């Protein structure tokens, strides 16, 4: 019977993130998996309480599928990643507003090689907004 | 699913290597990585019946090999697996009576004609 209680994000160490994909497609006991991942067994049992996939047999012994556990560790890593917003053409990050804005009155200046510098104003606060651009084209300039 | 008894024998071998032969934790870690290929090759079959598997361990490694595995690394994996099988035959003679010594000795020999560039 599979158990999943209290699923929330757990703090997974880098060492575990590296070692988890090496887990084998077999059933492990908590002690074995803790040894293989080099973490204390109490930490592992804490992860099980926070939603790590595991099952119990008729004797109430805990079994952990190595591949399922590795997938769960990977999902925890992805859950901790903050959502990103890549800058679009003509956009920059205003340090005053602390937000992504459309650059007003932008000017592109070549720096070196493929690297260019886009300088303009923030439409909200009027402050100067700078942005580095690789392979700048006319599309980088804000329209209007 | 892999055979748990195989996994437990591998763990026992690693403990024996550490305690009796004094192998370092890095060597133990490398040995375990090498023996994972043997565990995956055997799959759900107990080690006692691995000579009946159609695909040889060498061919399995070639098929499953990740990029960058050179001949020296391949030889090292085969040597570790051979060392393990010799140990397991010595420690569990009844269980592994079907595995012949000549078969174990052939494991680490890379055939001359085989292409091993991966």
Of A80, A113, A129, which residue is a domain's last? A80
* A24/B2 Cβ within 8 A: yes
pLDDT at A55 over 80: yes
Residues in A closer than 8 angstroms to B33, CB to CB, are 22
Contacts A–B by Cβ distance under 8 A:
18
Spell out which residues of chain B touch residue A27, defining contact as CB-CB under 8 Å: 1, 4
- A93-97 contacts: CB < 8 A, separation 24 or more? A93/A129, A93/A131, A94/A122, A94/A124, A94/A125, A94/A127, A94/A129, A95/A127, A95/A129, A96/A122, A96/A125, A96/A127, A97/A122, A97/A124, A97/A125, A97/A127
| Any domain includes A86 | no
- pLDDT tens, B47-86? 888 888 888 888 888 877 655 677 888 889 999 999 999 9
ipTM attached to this prediction: 0.79
SS3 of residue A112 by DSSP: strand
Per the domain annotation, does A116 fall within a domain?
yes
Q: Does some domain include residue A107? A: yes
Q: Residue A55: its chain B contacts at CB < 8 A?
A: none
What number is the average pLDDT over the span A14-19? 91
Pair (A26, A69) in one structural domain: yes
- Domain extent listing, chain B: 4-107
Q: What is the mean pLDDT of residues A118-138?
A: 87
Residue B94 confidence (pLDDT) above 60: yes
Say yes or no: A99 and A53 in one domain: no
Which chain A residue has the Cα nearest residue B40? A24
Q: What is the pLDDT of residues A73-113, one digit of tens each?
A: 988 887 766 767 888 888 899 999 999 999 988 888 888 88
Give the pairing of strands A91-94 and A27-28.
unpaired
Q: Closest residue of A to B8, CA-based? A: A32
Domain containing A113 equals 91-140
Specify the CATH number for the domain of residue A6: 1.10.1660
> Best mutation site among A20, A21, A26, A65 for testing chain B: the one with the most B CBs within 10 Å?
A26
Q: Please give the tally of structural domains in chain A.
A: 2
| Distance to chain B for A81, nearest Cα, Å | 28
- A32 vs B contacts (CB less than 8 Å): 7, 11
Q: Are residues A6 and A61 in the same domain?
A: yes
Do A50 and A107 belong to one domain? no
Smallest Cβ distance to B1: which of A22, A27, A32?
A27
């Amino acid at each position: 019977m599979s158990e999943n209680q209290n699923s929330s994000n757990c703090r997974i160490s880098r060492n575990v993130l590296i070692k988890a994909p090496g887990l084998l497609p077999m059933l492990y006991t908590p002690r074995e998996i803790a040894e293989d991942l080099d973490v204390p067994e109490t930490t592992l049992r804490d992860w099980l309480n926070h939603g790590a996939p595991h099952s119990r047999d008729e004797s109430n012994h805990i079994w952990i599928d190595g591949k399922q556990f590795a997938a769960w560790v990977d999902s925890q890593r992805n859950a901790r990643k903050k959502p990103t917003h890549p800058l679009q053409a003509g956009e920059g990050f205003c340090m005053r507003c602390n937000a992504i804005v459309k650059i007003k009155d932008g000017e592109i200046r070549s720096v070196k090689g493929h690297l260019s510098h886009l300088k303009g104003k923030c439409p909200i606060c009027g402050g100067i907004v700078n942005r580095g651009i690789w392979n700048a084209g006319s599309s980088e300039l804000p329209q209007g | 699913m892999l055979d748990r008894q195989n996994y437990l024998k591998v763990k026992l071998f690693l403990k024996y290597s550490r305690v009796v032969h004094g192998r370092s934790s890095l060597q133990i870690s490398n040995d375990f990585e090498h023996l994972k290929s043997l565990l995956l090759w055997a799959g759900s079959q107990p080690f006692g019946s691995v000579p009946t598997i159609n695909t040889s361990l060498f061919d399995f490694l070639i098929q499953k090999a990740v990029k960058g595995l050179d001949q020296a690394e391949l030889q090292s994996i085969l040597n570790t697996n051979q060392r393990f099988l010799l140990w397991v035959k010595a420690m569990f003679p009844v269980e592994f009576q079907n595995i012949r010594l000549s078969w174990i000795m052939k494991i680490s020999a890379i055939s001359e004609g085989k292409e091993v560039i991966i």
